[in-house]
Chains A and B, each alone.
Chain A
Amino acid sequence: MVRPLLASTPTEVVQPPADDRRRARADRIRTIVGRLQPGKSLPLLAVVLVIGYLTLTPLLYLVQGTFLENGRISFGGFERAYATSGLLTMARNSMVFAIGSSLVAFVAGTFLAYITVRTNVPFRPLLVATAMVPLIIPGLLYTISWIMLSSQNVGLLNQISNAIIGRPIFDIFSMPGMIWVEATHTAPLVYLFMVAAFRSMDPSLEESALVCGASRWAMLRRVTLPLARPAIAAAMLIVFVNALASFEVPVLLGLPDRIYVFTSRIFFELQQFPYDYAAAGALSIGLVIIAILGVWLTNRLRGEDREFATITGKGFRPRTLDLGRARIPVGLAVIAYFGITTALPLLVMFYTSFLPYYRRFTVDAFQDFSWTNYTTLFTNRIFTRSVVNSLVLSLGSATIIMVLTAVAAWFVIRTRVPGRQIVDQLSFLPMIVPGLVMGVAISFVYLRNPLPIPVYGTMAILFIAYVTRFLPYGMRYATSSLTQLHRELEESAEVSGSSWWQNFRRIVAPLMLPGLIAGWIYIVIVSIRELSSSILLYSPGNEVLSIVIWQFYEKGEMTAVSALSVVLVLTLVVIVSIAYKLGAAIGLRTD
């Protein structure tokens, strides 16, 4: 098998004009043009354009809709919005709400995470369930269940309080109530994040503190927490931005008592006819600015995490500390926490779903149990149609997102095009835009509709909203699964002679598939719960599940809400369990 000499293949370029400088310039242009390979450039360009369009047009139109009234630049929107609602009060409420719920969620989540990873706490499976379940329950249902639990006359909590103190002390329609519900709903996010952080921390760093004579408390204070600072900052950021963007809690719990935060105020402005778009836009922009500030602040807190090289990719075998006598009290605390934050809300839903009307918790009530609510639900055409709509939207947008982000991730990670990082940053832009604001912005866009097809009032606008909102999650899964792919797998395909498309189709995509599927599942789960964007964009016939729940709630049909909740939660539990089993190797991540 002696190599024959390759025949000479002419690949030289035609001689350009004699002038040196012109020759050099023509050369450079030819180099750039020559480097463009249509098979590779077109799909990449298309994806970049789509992502740019989806992420930028809402914000651009938002700005335009806020500042442009009757064709002239005006600040009328700002004046009306901030003057009437009292900017300071609203900002203060938003801060109190966001910071308050972040702190409570943080303390609860971190405490639970630490004892899970680092100690021999009893009832460990319960802890894990406490972590996962609230993530599955949509925020709307969680909030409504707390409303039912703390209803003045009928709620279980006040029943107990009445019995013990003689007064119903639980009033959920208050700032403490809002903070409580928001915090307990997002604590699981902190929990999962901090569990991962503690797991990847070298336990010998803490052990050496003990050997040096530190008490456990001193060790926590001076070693563990400082080392975990980058993770803590990241977790706080997530919860803070979540709270700022929170819609269900402020609207359901705050509005009745006129406690306004940005999101509830925006919603309020858009419920009153005639709609004051400029005011809503002004409030939205204010909210986005606060969110950006929050992100910037947290990034500064994390800035020094280069020194904290203790959190490596390696997982360490957790060496647990013995709680000793504290074991029983801590165990009881875990049960109590689980009971209050997870079991109670689920139980009240379950209980109510079998009753003809929401009533106090008594033993007699059991005699009135029936399946009526469920049968009514399943014969309700709006409900069945919303199920179809939700499925179509979730599955469809998840697929579109994963396809887009797979190609976009390749563009950002594998090419050397200058400015490619912009695509990465653009795709994370929707993260800081609260869902409600995204709904506002998108409605601005399609009221003027730059596209040649009808969008407003159709499913298309919901599709656009879903794809835009959940793009960051898809991007995160796509980039992480691509970075795990050894570059040499693609390079050897290149050397073997494959074109870009052949490489992507036969090597990159199949190997990215597990990560892409994980992202797809995550987006499906999260998008089925979606409310804050849909509520401004839906139209009759295009309702999704969460909208139907909302409508039931507004009409006061608590039993219908409960039945629907049970169905929804059970379905999500099934989906998540399947996903968990499938994704055990992939690792389902939360934001």
Chain B
Amino acid sequence: MLVIRNLVKTFAGERRRGADDAGRRVRAVDDISLEVKEGELFTLLGPSGCGKTTTLRSVAGLERPDSGEIRVADRVLFSTLNGRTVNVPTNQRGLGMVFQSYAIWPHMKVFDNVAFPLQVMPRGKRPSKEAIKAKVMAVLETMELAHMADRQATKLSGGQQQRLALARALVTEPPLLLLDEPLSNLDAKLRDSLRFELKRLQRELGITSVYVTHDQVEALALSSRIAVMRDGKVQQIGTPREIYEKPANRFVAEFIGTSNFFSGTTAGRIDGRLAVRTEHGTILVDATTPNEDGKPVLLAVRPEAIDITAGAAAGGRANEWTGEVVTRSYLGDSVDHIVRVGSTELRVRSRSSTSIQAHTEVTVRIDPANLTLIPIDA
């Protein structure tokens, strides 16, 4: 449905013909390629400045990329390939967009906000007033806002505003919906409940959506697939589970959830499992590659995947260590322990029933299946 190929967008500094100012300009989007399938909710996830919003705005036509191609359903919206430049103006792209601030026009009623995209269509294509009314009311019904149609748009709650913004974006039945951090302006509780609403709506309508956020919990909860971005480049694309359980590099492992890391070198196999020699002894990992010995690798394990029990370890078993609790934090549904093992501090999350005091000796155990092998960044 949406195809982005080799998208590049730089900022800052006057463009000088021919000269390569790459050193001085900021590459906000640095050669990005991805594909969004029909019906997916595809999320661009990353920290501030990673290029996710610039990419989204480029699809909308609000930013003009330096080079690359953007196609929606085989229609070229932007292209500099093959020496030809195509750039469809924003107001001719026919997409739907929900802005971070919702951008509800305060001087219009709810009905007029939603009717606007239909009213500004070129005269030839514009539906009649009755047709507009019918379409608008239909969309408002879907969003459960029909009873507010005559109200001033400012008199809506946060959740209602979000639905209004969605209604406006969807009234023209666009092939693609763009959402720019639509939940970031809301307080935590509202964000939680609206997240479910959004997901339900998107799945029900089956509308292809591109979602931008810096909140990884949101991304994991909502997405069909996620693209993790950093400094203008895509780090990994995958389903939420893939991203979480098998991060492709250290950045993804650190950005999504929390991780504990061990660095070491490969040292053959034991019982079919990969052995990695680390400063904490040999760690066994359920991994099929790499097969060479002596390769430097990074192991990542999630805090909730580590077992912790009071009392020193029996000793001699693989993936098992004696440590000492440094501090613990009661979080309500779980307890975070910081455990010192040798010179490393591990973060271990356990059920709230397991709460071990500081300065207690403990055994930490990691199942080989719970460790992820991360290629060392060049």
Interface positions of A (Cβ within 8 A of B)? 1-6, 8-9, 11-13, 15-16, 20, 23-24, 27, 30-31, 34, 37, 418, 486, 488-489, 491-499, 502, 506-507, 510-511
Contacts and interface: CB of A to CB of B under 8 A. Distances in A.
28 contacts: A1-B206, A2-B205, A3-B175, A5-B74, A5-B175, A6-B72, A8-B75, A11-B75, A11-B76, A11-B86, A12-B79, A12-B86, A20-B83, A27-B83, A418-B14, A488-B103, A491-B62, A491-B97, A493-B105, A494-B90, A494-B91, A495-B61, A495-B90, A495-B91, A495-B93, A497-B94, A497-B172, A498-B117
Nearest to A15: B84
A554 B247 CA distance: 89
Contact of B60 (A495, A510, A511): A495
B156 interface: no
A496 B112 CA distance: 13
B200 to A, nearest CB: 14
Nearest to B107: A510
A23 B80 CA distance: 12
Contacts of B205: 1-2
B83 A23 contact: yes
Interface in B69-105: 72-76, 79, 83-97, 99-101, 103, 105
Contacts of B60: 491, 495
Contacts of B107: 510-511
B117 A496 contact: yes
A309 to B, nearest CB: 21
Contact of A6 (B61, B62, B175): B175
B235 to A, nearest CB: 28
Given A486-B101, A497-B91, A492 B120 contact: no
B367 interface: no
B75 A6 contact: yes
Contact of A494 (B62, B73, B175): B62
B173 interface: yes
A498 B118 CA distance: 9
A15 B208 CA distance: 33
Interface in B164-199: 165, 168-169, 172-175, 178
B175 A499 contact: no
A3 B38 contact: yes
Given A1-B173, A13-B84, A510-B107, A488 B206 contact: no
A437 B6 CA distance: 59
Nearest to B14: A418
A203 B172 CA distance: 53
Contact of A34 (B73, B87, B95, B142): B87
Contacts of A13: 84-86
B207 A3 contact: yes
Residue from A16, A491, A496 with most neighbouring chain B CB atoms (10 Å): A496
B217 interface: no
Contacts of B165: 492
Interface of B: 14, 38, 60-62, 72-76, 79, 83-97, 99-101, 103, 105-107, 116-117, 120-121, 142, 165, 168-169, 172-175, 178, 205-208
Contacts of A418: 14
A507 B105 contact: yes
A502 B92 CA distance: 14
A498 B91 contact: yes
B75 A497 contact: no
Given A34-B87, A511-B106, A9 B75 contact: yes
Contacts of B142: 1
A572 B205 CA distance: 61
Contacts of A488: 99-101, 103
B103 A492 contact: yes
B76 A12 contact: yes
A151 B122 CA distance: 72
Contacts of B101: 486, 488
Contacts of B93: 495
A496 B103 CA distance: 12
Nearest to B204: A1
A506 B109 CA distance: 13
B242 to A, nearest CB: 26
Contacts of B206: 1-3
A35 to B, nearest CB: 8
B121 A497 contact: yes
A24 B82 CA distance: 11
A37 B89 contact: yes
Nearest to B60: A495
Contacts of B116: 493, 496, 498, 506
Contacts of B76: 11-12
A8 B75 CA distance: 5
Nearest to A13: B84
Nearest to A3: B175
A415 to B, nearest CB: 13
A12 B75 CA distance: 10
B85 A30 contact: yes
Given A489-B105, A496-B120, A498-B116, 15 more contacts: A3-B207, A5-B74, A6-B72, A6-B73, A11-B88, A12-B84, A12-B86, A24-B83, A31-B87, A34-B87, A488-B100, A488-B103, A495-B62, A497-B94, A498-B91
Contacts of A23: 83
Nearest to A12: B86
Contacts of B92: 497
A584 B377 CA distance: 60
Contacts of B105: 489, 493, 507, 511
B104 to A, nearest CB: 8
A501 B377 CA distance: 51
A490 to B, nearest CB: 8
Nearest to A23: B83
A11 B61 CA distance: 15
Contacts of B61: 494-495
B331 to A, nearest CB: 35
A116 B206 CA distance: 62
Contacts of A3: 38, 173-175, 206-208
A27 B208 contact: no
Nearest to B120: A498
A497 B120 contact: yes
Contacts of B175: 3, 5-6
A499 B84 contact: no
B85 A6 contact: no
Given A30-B85, A486-B103, A495 B74 contact: no
A489 B103 contact: yes
A491 B91 CA distance: 9
B164 to A, nearest CB: 11
A189 B101 CA distance: 38
A27 B84 contact: yes
Residue of B72, B105, B178, B206 with most partner-chain A CB within 10 A: B105
A12 B120 CA distance: 25
B126 to A, nearest CB: 10
Contact of B95 (A8, A9, A495): A495
A499 B94 CA distance: 13
Contacts of B88: 11
A400 B233 CA distance: 50
B83 A31 contact: no
Contacts of A502: 120
A496 B93 CA distance: 9
B39 to A, nearest CB: 8
Give the most central of A8, A37, A493: most B CB within 10 Å: A493
B95 to A, nearest CB: 6
Nearest to A489: B103
Instruction: Count chain A CB atoms within 10 A of each CB in B84, B92, B206 and give the residue with the most.
Output: B84
A496 B168 contact: yes
Contacts of B79: 12
Given A499-B91, A507-B105, A5 B73 contact: yes
Contacts of A495: 60-62, 90-91, 93, 95-97, 169, 178
B84 to A, nearest CB: 5
